[in-house]
Structure 1
Amino acid sequence: MLKQIRLVLLPFSWLYACILTLRNKLYDWGWKKSYQSEVYTLCVGNLSMGGTGKSPAIEYLIKKLHKNYKIASLSRGYKRKSKGYKEVLLNSNVEEVGDEPFQFKRKFPEIKVAVDENRAHGIKQLTQQHDLKCILLDDAFQHRRVQPHFSILLTVYNNLYANDFVLPAGNLREPSWGAHRADVILVTKCPLNLSIEKQRQIKKQLQLKKYQKLFFAGIDYSENVVSGSQKLDFSAFNRFTLVTGIANPKPLTEYLDASAKTYQHLKFPDHHHFNTNEIEKLKKEKLILTTEKDYVRLKDFLSEDQLFYLPIEMKLLKHEDKFENLILNSIQRHYEH
């Protein structure tokens, strides 16, 4: 049935792809102008709709870079209830700045975090107000009005952009050949025991350009669940309600199933703002497990003894030093010139 629906939608995808290709060509040819700041900008994005692991990737980069450079993170603040430029503070309202930016600030209070749907304006505001050496552009791969100095393109292990279609027949926000703008292709949510042979197969499917580097990463789950200052052993955490408002909860549910957990799953749309009725229903649940992104939206309404999240980290399968040095060397070359 799904295949038949896609066939019906394919003409609309081709039309949409043509429009997007023309738009990108106008930027490539210089007919539409892109802004590039003097401060180094590193873009993390994808070609598909959500769920590729951008937040863990941004956090991974923050950990690697903030020890050496004064850095900031700039997002659009998807589904926030505000407009324009806003700097994210520890006392910010999560609905006004967005859940992911607030999560970044909460975990890394020493860095600057801001939101602006106009990335060029956001970069200018950040660089005018703060002495920075690197700005991480969250989900800005299609934002062609900004020309980043370095781009990392994420694609999910079991849903590579090379095997997908443009909207509405598929999930791509632009044709797969847009990947040529990336310096690095990072395949996310891989099995941690991914074989070398499978990595070679994926590399062949992606048809990388000579200047592009390929890396593989998986999800590393914490041994504890967390709520405020509390930490509980995950192995003893069982019989709970799982609450998710993320694009793709499947990796999490698969991990819980593999860990033999007993739970019911309440699934909400990505970046969901929980209304009063939903909050009241959740208050009746004895024990809730959620994602860190959902936790920052729910923590003010539910008790610390009731609501917990399972921390995750992005873990490169190999060549972590090579990945880190590639970025550090790129930043160094930028400022040497």
Structure 2
Amino acid sequence: MKFIRVLLFPIVPFYYVITWLRNKLYDLGIKTSKSYDFPVICVGNLSAGGTGKTPMVESLIRLLKDHYSLATLSRGYGRKTKGFMLASQESSAKTLGDEPFQFYTKFKECIQVSVDEDRQNGIYNLRGLNKQPNLIVLDDAFQHRKVKAKLNILLTTYSNLYYKDIVLPTGNLREPRQGAKRAQIIVVTKCPSDLSKEEKNNIESKLKPKTHQSVFFSSITYANEVIGLNNTIALKDLKDFTLVTGIATAKPLVDFLRNEGLSFNHLEYSDHHDFSKKEIETLSKNDLIITTEKDYVRLITEDNLSSKLYYLPIEIVIDNQNIFNELVKTKIED
């Protein structure tokens, strides 16, 4: 795969020019972005890989759900439906996509969850509901410039910071690095928990934030137990098991479990993998399966897996969390 990406390097300048020109047309107002008279928060990234958008959206939900009538709007990657969909009791990962369905499963009592490829259309439909949201969080919409968010939160991973990268197809960037200037908050995600102040300062200096931008650092924390349909198991009590992942980057999870001294076989699939019947049958032969929360919501509906399937919850910890929280609130209230 890396070799093929190198071979495709001659395409990089064309991709760069096309995405740069598209952004320039929006910057100049030739292509128009729609603004709203209520707060819209966009969580996104420049890169095509996983940067931790889902836990960031969940963190924002926890922060704001008691103060706003809140809705999330995602594309619904990998779903079998099209157009606008509002999550309901009949919804599943197949109708919403795995990440929106995860939001619905965890927060259905206090927020509305929706999907639409067209973010403008999604917002229009949400605002037409009887229970009209007055705050919408856009998941993975940094490149969807038809909508002008009040607050843009840009994520970049510690192991693949955008200033070190180039655009697709050889690199991972969806657009040139200067697109980062649209963000008001930049969060370096998946950092080591013991990241030194000196290294943070070094990273921030290389990110070169503008005067309107604030930089934060976050790390992933894992729970000390896995959760199944009817019970939980402490990590320390786990014996041999199969780890199943269908996420962009499984390495942090694998490293964590190995550092816990656990013994397991890892079956790694592509991000948002659509498990076939044959793959489900193969998985069902395992006595104990540990997976991510995103994969869990897709697999738990399989009857021959439900009794042996568990997920490991994660959350993000943001350095200077109180400052981050107050900044978010200030930005959307301005």
User: What TM-score bracket applies, with the shorter chain setting the length?
Assistant: over 0.9
Q: Deviations over 1:143-190 (max 9, x none)?
A: 011111110000000100100110011111111111000000000000
Alpha-carbon distance in 1 for matches of 2:55, 2:158: 15
Alpha-carbon distance in 2 for matches of 1:85, 1:49: 24
Alpha-carbon distance in 2 for matches of 1:285, 1:164: 39
Change (3 A) 1:295 1:201: same
Q: Deviations over 1:287-314 (max 9, x none)?
A: 1000000000000114443100000001
> Could you tell me which amino acid in structure 2 is paired with residue 285 of structure 1?
N
1:53, 1:189 within 8 Å by CA — same for their partners in 2? yes
Aligned to 1:181: 182
Alpha-carbon distance in 2 for matches of 1:81, 1:131: 26
Aligned to 2:298: 297
The answer to whether structure 1 residue 327 and structure 2 residue 307 are counterparts is: no
Unaligned runs of 5+ in 2: none
Cα displacement (A) at 1:321: 0.7
> Could you tell me which amino acid in structure 1 is paired with residue 311 of structure 2?
Y
Alpha-carbon distance in 1 for matches of 2:53, 2:89: 21
The answer to whether structure 1 residue 112 and structure 2 residue 116 are counterparts is: no
The answer to whether structure 1 residue 137 and structure 2 residue 142 are counterparts is: no
The answer to whether structure 1 residue 311 and structure 2 residue 313 are counterparts is: yes
1:37, 1:123 within 8 Å by CA — same for their partners in 2? no
Pairwise mapping of residues 58-207 of structure 1 onto structure 2 (< 5 A)? 58-109=57-108, 110-129=110-129, 130-207=131-208
Alpha-carbon distance in 2 for matches of 1:11, 1:33: 31
1:90, 1:105 within 8 Å by CA — same for their partners in 2? no
Alpha-carbon distance in 2 for matches of 1:90, 1:272: 23
Alpha-carbon distance in 1 for matches of 2:173, 2:40: 24
2:299, 2:305 within 8 Å by CA — same for their partners in 1? no
1:90, 1:106 within 8 Å by CA — same for their partners in 2? no
Alpha-carbon distance in 2 for matches of 1:7, 1:210: 36
Alpha-carbon distance in 2 for matches of 1:89, 1:226: 23
SS of 2:160's partner is coil
Q: Deviations over 1:52-85 (max 9, x none)?
A: 0000000010000101111100000001111100
> Could you tell me which amino acid in structure 1 is paired with residue 101 of structure 2?
F
Q: Deviations over 1:16-39 (max 9, x none)?
A: 001100000000000011112222
Cα displacement (A) at 1:112: 0.3
Cα displacement (A) at 1:132: 1.7
> Could you tell me which amino acid in structure 2 is paired with residue 229 of structure 1?
N
Alpha-carbon distance in 2 for matches of 1:105, 1:203: 35
Cα displacement (A) at 1:6: 5.5
Report % sequence identity: 47
Cα displacement (A) at 1:10: 2.9
1:39, 1:127 within 8 Å by CA — same for their partners in 2? no
Q: Deviations over 1:173-209 (max 9, x none)?
A: 1111110000000000001111001101110111111
Aligned to 2:252: 251
2:226, 2:312 within 8 Å by CA — same for their partners in 1? yes
Cα displacement (A) at 1:228: 1.9
Unaligned runs of 5+ in 1: none
Alpha-carbon distance in 1 for matches of 2:306, 2:114: 28
Cα displacement (A) at 1:332: 2.1
Cα displacement (A) at 1:9: 3.1
2:76, 2:99 within 8 Å by CA — same for their partners in 1? yes
2:93, 2:101 within 8 Å by CA — same for their partners in 1? yes
Alpha-carbon distance in 1 for matches of 2:326, 2:10: 44
SS of 2:128's partner is helix
Q: Deviations over 1:191-248 (max 9, x none)?
A: 1111001101110111111110000000010011001231111111121001011111
Aligned pairs, number: 331
Q: Deviations over 1:248-278 (max 9, x none)?
A: 1111011111111111111111111111111
